[in-house]
Amino acid sequence: MSNISDHLKVAAVFAESVRRELRHLPADAVADLTDGLESDIASSLLDGVKLADPAEYATDLLRGAGLSVDKQSTGGRSVVSENYDRILAAFAKAKTFTTGLAPAWWLTRAWVVTQVLGWVLNDSDDTRVLVGQWGEEKILGVAVFIAVLYLSVVLGRREVKKSRLRNVITLSVVVAGAFLTTGQFQPGSNQGFSYSASPVTLPCGLVPNFVGLSVMEMKNMQESGAVSYAIEYYDKETTANMTQTIWNQPATDFRKLIVVEQENPSQMSCTTPVILYVEEGAVATTTVPVQTSSTIASQLSTTTSSVVSRVVSTTSSVAKQVNRTTTSLSR
């Protein structure tokens, strides 16, 4: 390592590893324990100190702070949250597995339909099992099977397309609803939007493109619950993790700090934090939205417009992607 910038990068990565080791704790406890950690680690690196194992480091940190090192008993995110993550992972796994079985199902149902047709159209023979119901007319049976198989596959693909489209629509509504119900819009207001008033704060969601927004706007959205997934801020130039700094200071301090780059926009975020790179830019002209229904129409801020336009843009780009996928499937 030759300079402070390199040390800061290493320190940022190491601090994140330590935070991951502490993820069983409530977020505020982790923030409290690791605030300023990057600069301390960078200083020790400058002195030539070798970094310890992050897990061991986290344990020392907990012991020093007088906290339990037992991950099961330290509350906060704890067992409920971890079990929720496990259920989501198991569900995703099961869904992938069953999706993979779809062609086998299409084949099976085609074969069953062919045999049932053969049994209905030919003379019934109770001595024969279902297999080979076309008797002497085997060639006709094969032709019917091919035709039924074709229909079965076409039907199956339509079901997949519908399922994907349904998922995209559901997600789009949820994400749009999450932004629209943060107090910036109200049900029934004359904004030309309609959305579900059902609960929208989910642990994960479709990530819109935040590039161009100020950190102040981002922080306001996070605090209002509009963005419920984890977001991490990094300095574009030094790649230093600024997440803690941003959380510990008022949102208005970050008017000039603009999101200039984002990792994985338009992707699902459940357990992986959204990474935003920020740097000093022009002063953001937006204001914090006032959350009273009487002033909604007049105080429709640039923030709201830009966020909604990004959500709509993200939604439409995803819809286009689905269309392309379904078109290619149909071919």
Binding site for other proteins (CB under 8 A): 4-5, 8, 11-12, 18, 32-33, 35-44, 47, 49, 52, 57-67, 235, 238, 240-242, 245, 248
Cα 140 to Cα 319: distance, rounded to the nearest angstrom? 43
Long-range contact set of residues 64-73: C-beta below 8 Å, sequence gap at least 24:
65/33, 67/25, 67/29, 71/24, 72/24
Nearer to other proteins, 3 or 190 (CB): 3
Return the sign of the alpha-carbon dihedral for residues 122, 123, 124, 129: negative
Cβ at position 290, least distance to other proteins in Å: 30
Cβ at position 72, least distance to other proteins in Å: 20
Cβ at position 55, least distance to other proteins in Å: 11
Cβ at position 50, least distance to other proteins in Å: 11
| Phi (first) and psi of residue 260, to 5 degrees | -110, -15
Nearer to other proteins, 32 or 223 (CB): 32
Cβ at position 280, least distance to other proteins in Å: 12
318 residue type, one letter: V
Cβ at position 193, least distance to other proteins in Å: 40
Would you give the DSSP letter of residue 241? Answer: B
DSSP string, 149-206: HHHHHHHHHHHHHHHHHHHHHHHHHHHHHHHHTTTTS-TT-TTS-----S----S-EE
Cα 11 to Cα 45: distance, rounded to the nearest angstrom? 8
Place of tokens 């493109």: 209
Nearer to other proteins, 52 or 92 (CB): 52
